Structure 1
Amino acid sequence: MRSAHRPHAAALPILQGEGIQLGPWPERDAVADAAALARLHADPHAMRYWSTAAWAPDDLPRAHAFLDDVEAGARGGKLLRFAARRPGSPGLVGWVTLFRIDPPRPRTEIGYLLDPALWGQGFGRRMVHLALDHAFVAIAAQKVEADVDPRNAASCRLLEALGFQREGPLRQGWRSGTERQDSAIYGLIANEWRG
């Protein structure tokens, strides 16, 4: 029997927000989801500030490996990756991940990716809000952290609007292509959450 902290990926709850829904990765949508993942991860705009390079176009094997990692992470209880969709539409528009979940002293990190066609419309903020509510209520996390490229002003603003505080830089903490990059470390503590 699975504990509340170790859901199967298909058993992830559906988190409903205004114009956005987070939920599981149903088996029936695996082919379409893999194609959408490959498209999103190959988009140079979407991947501009990631710690990994954009995927090669139509890299379906890598997309299927991503979906396998979703399942394995959920089984291990350390990673919950929600598919983001528009209500009433099966199409994948992004994802939100809660990872490095560490019960019994719950602390987690958050990551997210949204189709650039939806940027600037509040969808990113709403999907991160849904995931944070899940982290603080269902998982009982005491703290959620985010590691952001400091040049990604939109992502920094999104986190700050949700109550995250910038806790400091991590100098040259990762490599993007051929360059070393700093990270802006953000943190949000449970009693600061305004969910």
Structure 2
Amino acid sequence: MLTGASSLPTLETPRLRLRWMTEADIPALFELFSHPEVTRYWSWSAYTERAQAEKLLGNIHKYFAERSLFNWGFARREDDRIIGTCTLSDLSGQHRRASLGYALNRAHWGHGYGREAVGRLVEFGFTSLELHRLEADVDPRNTSSLQVLEGLGFQREGYQRERYFLNGEIQDAVLYGLLRPEWRPGPASS
């Protein structure tokens, strides 16, 4: 998967650019992941120090080199400032599947950017990477995220009770999946 590439390809949508992140994006990453509402259902607590965003970027580059995680930053085309991230993790070439994750800066909620970015990533996974299955697990209280997945055709496949211990509480997860034959490209994928 992306053999020989030194960075991720840039993916375009009508309003966004999903791109490789550099050190210049550390302030935007810190802003994104330091907001408690953004990390409410995330796999870690809100950042309190810039060094955490620096470490994240280092891990993004390290795991890309290992081809175990592909993490794009996405930015509005008008200013190229990172407002969110989209990730394919748990990549399996043998089984042709990956897990999907995404986060959007709180200041940009409600404008459809998440659906647009995730829709483009789904298209890339099924076409360029030739995956057969994409999956995501979401806290069942995260209604916005559930709407993004369902709007893209993902189907609810299971309920995982008390799967995570985050932010001082035990959290459930809902498992969603989308198969390549079920996928229907939409306008956000153009």
Asked if these proteins are the same fold (TM beyond 0.5), I'd say yes
Structure-2-length-normalised TM-score: 0.93
Name the counterpart of 2:153: 163
Name the counterpart of 1:113: 103
Aligned length: 185
Answer whether contact 1:5 1:139 (CA < 8 A) is retained: no
Name the counterpart of 2:188: none
- Taking the TM superposition and a 5 Å limit, the aligned residue runs for 1:44-83 are 44-56=36-48, 59-83=49-73
Answer whether contact 1:170 1:183 (CA < 8 A) is retained: yes
Q: Per the alignment, in what secondary structure is the counterpart of residue 38 of structure 2?
A: coil
Could you list the structure 1 runs, at least 4 aligned residues long, displaced by more than 2 angstroms after superposition: 3-8
**1:149 and 1:129 mapped to 2: Cα distance?**
20
**2:123 and 2:150 mapped to 1: Cα distance?**
16
Q: Per the alignment, in what secondary structure is the counterpart of residue 124 of structure 2?
A: helix
Q: Per the alignment, in what secondary structure is the counterpart of residue 91 of structure 2?
A: coil
Per-residue CA deviations over 1:120-168 (Å, capped at 9, x if unaligned) read 1111000000111111111111100001000001110110000000001
Name the counterpart of 1:14: 10
Name the counterpart of 1:174: 164
Answer whether contact 2:31 2:105 (CA < 8 A) is retained: no
Matched to 1:134, the amino acid is F
Alpha carbon RMSD of aligned pairs, Å?
1.3
Answer whether contact 1:6 1:74 (CA < 8 A) is retained: no
Matched to 2:172, the amino acid is D
Unaligned runs of 5+ in 1: none
Percentage identity across aligned positions? Answer: 34
Structure-1-length-normalised TM-score: 0.90
Unaligned runs of 5+ in 2: 186-190
